[in-house]
Amino acid sequence: MHELCNWLLRFLILAAALVATSCAQSSQTQHLQQVLGIGLENLILSTLYNDAPRQNASYDFIIVGAGPAGCVLANRLSENPNWTVYLIEAGGVEGMFHQMPVLAAYLQGTHSNWGYKSTPQKRACFGMYNNECFLPRGKVLGGTSSINYMIYNRGNKRDFDRWAAAGNKGWSYAEVLPYFLKSEAANLAGLEDSPYHNRTGPLSVEDVQYRTPAVHAYLKGAQQAGHPRTDYNGESQIGASYVQANTLRGRRHSAYRAYIEPIRYQRKNLHIVTMTRVTRVLIDPVTKRATGVELMYRNKYYKVRARKEVILSAGAFNSPQLLMLSGVGPADNLKAIGVPIVKELPVGKLLYDHMCHFGPTFTVNTDRQLLNIAHLNSTVVKSFLLGNPTTMLSSIGGVEALTFFKVPSSKEPADMPDMEIITVAGSLAADQGTALKQGANFKDELYDKVYRPLQVSRQDHFSFLIMQFHPKSVGRMWLHNRNPFEWPRINPKYFRNEDDVQFMLEGIKEAIRITQTPAMQALGTRIHDIPLPGCEQHNFGTDDYWRCSIRTLSYTLHHQVATCRMGPESDPSTVVNAELKVHGIKHLRVVDTSIIPFPPTAHTNAASYMIGEKAADMIRGDWQ
Ligand SMILES: Cc1cc2nc3c(=O)[nH]c(=O)nc-3n(C[C@H](O)[C@H](O)[C@H](O)COP(=O)(O)OP(=O)(O)OC[C@H]3O[C@@H](n4cnc5c(N)ncnc54)[C@H](O)[C@@H]3O)c2cc1C
Ligand SMILES: *[C@@H]1O[C@H](CO)[C@@H](O)[C@H](O)[C@H]1NC(C)=O
Ligand SMILES: *[C@@H]1O[C@H](CO)[C@@H](O)[C@H](O)[C@H]1NC(C)=O
Ligand SMILES: *[C@@H]1O[C@H](CO)[C@@H](O)[C@H](O)[C@H]1NC(C)=O
Ligand SMILES: *[C@@H]1O[C@H](CO)[C@@H](O)[C@H](O)[C@H]1NC(C)=O
Alpha-carbon distance of 497 to 432, in angstroms, equals 34
Per-residue confidence (pLDDT) for residue 42, from 0 to 100: 64
372-384: pLDDT as tens digits: 888 888 899 899 9
| Residue 228: DSSP 8-state | P
Active-site residue among 98, 528, 583, 603? 603
Q: Are 428 and 409 in contact (CB under 8 A)?
A: no
Residues contacting residue 35 through CB under 8 Å, at least 6 positions apart: 16, 17, 20
Q: Is the shortest distance between the CB of 542 and ligand 2 below 6 Å?
A: no
**Would 28 be classed as within a structural domain?**
no
Element containing residue 206 per DSSP (H, E): strand 203-207
Alpha-carbon distance of 94 to 108, in angstroms, equals 13
Q: What is the dihedral of CA 53, 56, 60, 62, to 10 degrees?
A: 50
For residue 395, the domain's CATH number is: 3.30.560.10
Q: Whose CA is nearest to atom 4 of ligand 2?
A: 305
Residue range(s) defining the domain that contains residue 507? 157-254+353-556
Position 475 pLDDT exceeds 60: yes
Per-residue confidence (pLDDT) for residue 28, from 0 to 100: 45
459 shares its domain with 532: yes
At 140 the three-state DSSP class reads strand
Q: What is the dihedral of CA 220, 221, 222, 224, to 10 degrees?
A: 90
Whether a cis peptide bond, with omega within 30° of 0, leads into 453 is no
| Mean pLDDT in residue range 242-251 | 98
409-436: pLDDT as tens digits: 999 999 999 999 999 999 999 999 989 9
| Mean pLDDT in residue range 501-515 | 98
Alpha-carbon distance of 99 to 251, in angstroms, equals 5
Per the prediction, the chain carries an average pLDDT of 94
Whole-angstrom Cα Rg for the chain = 23
CA–CA distances in Å: residue 591 to residues 124, 567, 608: 30, 13, 8
Overall residue count recorded for the chain in this entry: 624
Q: Whose CA is nearest to atom 48 of ligand 1?
A: 143
Site to substitute for ligand 4 among 177, 183, 200, most atoms within 8 A of C-beta: 200
| Mean pLDDT in residue range 140-148 | 97
Å from CA of 583 to ligand 3 middle: 31
267-298: pLDDT as tens digits: 999 999 999 999 999 999 999 999 999 999 99
Q: What is the DSSP string of 389-409?
A: TTSGGGSBTTEEEEEEE--TT
pLDDT band (50, 70, 90) for residue 30: very low
Name the domain count of the chain: 2
Position 408 pLDDT exceeds 70: yes
Q: How far is CA 499 from the centre of its chain?
A: 25
The ligand minimizing its distance to the Cα of 76 is 4
506 shares its domain with 537: yes
Position 473 pLDDT exceeds 50: yes
- Ligand 3 nearest atom to the CA of residue 80, by list position: 13
Paired with 581 in beta bridges are 589
**Would 580 be classed as within a structural domain?**
yes
Indicate the burial class of 110 (C-beta count within 10 angstroms; 0-12, 13-18, 19 or more). buried
pLDDT band (50, 70, 90) for residue 247: very high
- Ligand 4 nearest atom to the CA of residue 181, by list position: 14
Position 29 pLDDT exceeds 50: no
Give percent above pLDDT 90 in the chain: 88
**Would 16 be classed as within a structural domain?**
no
334 shares its domain with 216: no
466 shares its domain with 600: no
475 shares its domain with 618: no
Per-residue confidence (pLDDT) for residue 97, from 0 to 100: 87
370 shares its domain with 497: yes
Å from CA of 155 to ligand 3 middle: 37
Q: Whose CA is nearest to atom 3 of ligand 5?
A: 380
For residue 133, the domain's CATH number is: 3.50.50.60
pLDDT band (50, 70, 90) for residue 24: very low
Q: Are 558 and 572 in contact (CB under 8 A)?
A: no
CA–CA distances in Å: residue 188 to residues 12, 166, 342, 474: 33, 34, 49, 36
Question: Final residue of a domain: which of 538, 556, 574?
Answer: 556
Per-residue confidence (pLDDT) for residue 204, from 0 to 100: 98
436-455: pLDDT as tens digits: 999 999 999 999 999 999 99
284 shares its domain with 140: yes
Per-residue confidence (pLDDT) for residue 48, from 0 to 100: 73
Per-residue confidence (pLDDT) for residue 521, from 0 to 100: 98
Question: Final residue of a domain: which of 539, 556, 573?
Answer: 556
| Mean pLDDT in residue range 236-251 | 98
Position 155 pLDDT exceeds 80: yes
| Mean pLDDT in residue range 474-478 | 98
329-364: pLDDT as tens digits: 999 999 999 999 999 999 999 999 999 999 999 999
| Mean pLDDT in residue range 307-319 | 98
Per-residue confidence (pLDDT) for residue 373, from 0 to 100: 85
Å from CA of 240 to ligand 1 middle: 26
**Would 29 be classed as within a structural domain?**
no
Position 95 pLDDT exceeds 90: no
Q: Are 262 and 78 in contact (CB under 8 A)?
A: no
Position 23 pLDDT exceeds 90: no
371 shares its domain with 341: no
**Would 475 be classed as within a structural domain?**
yes
Q: Whose CA is nearest to atom 13 of ligand 3?
A: 80
Q: Is 278 annotated as a binding residue?
A: yes
Question: Final residue of a domain: which of 541, 556, 571?
Answer: 556
Comparing 303-307, 434-438, 531-535, the range with the smallest average pLDDT is 434-438
190-242: pLDDT as tens digits: 999 999 999 999 999 999 999 999 999 999 999 999 999 999 999 999 999 99
Instruction: Work out the angle at residue 290's Cα, subtended by the Cα atoms of residues 287 and 296, and round it to the nearest 5 degrees.
Output: 140
The ligand minimizing its distance to the Cα of 306 is 2
**Would 3 be classed as within a structural domain?**
no
514 shares its domain with 399: yes
| Mean pLDDT in residue range 21-40 | 47
Position 33 pLDDT exceeds 70: no
Residue-wise burial string across 466-482, b where 16 or more C-beta atoms lie within 10 A, e elsewhere: bbbbbbebbbbbbbeee
Q: Counting runs of H as helices and runs of E as strands, what totals does the chain give?
A: 18, 25
**Would 26 be classed as within a structural domain?**
no
Q: Is the shortest distance between the CB of 148 and ligand 1 below 6 Å?
A: yes
| Mean pLDDT in residue range 252-259 | 98
Position 39 pLDDT exceeds 60: no
590-604: pLDDT as tens digits: 999 999 999 999 999
Other residues' Cβ atoms within 10 Å of the Cβ of residue 457: 11
Residue 559 known to be catalytic:
yes
**Would 543 be classed as within a structural domain?**
yes
pLDDT band (50, 70, 90) for residue 537: very high
334 shares its domain with 363: no
Alpha-carbon distance of 476 to 458, in angstroms, equals 41
Å from CA of 101 to ligand 5 middle: 19
| Mean pLDDT in residue range 41-68 | 88
76 HSE (CA, 13 A, CB side): 26
Q: Has this prediction a pTM greater than 0.85?
A: yes
229 shares its domain with 188: yes
357 shares its domain with 324: no
| Mean pLDDT in residue range 517-527 | 98
- Ligand 3 nearest atom to the CA of residue 82, by list position: 1
Other residues' Cβ atoms within 10 Å of the Cβ of residue 514: 26
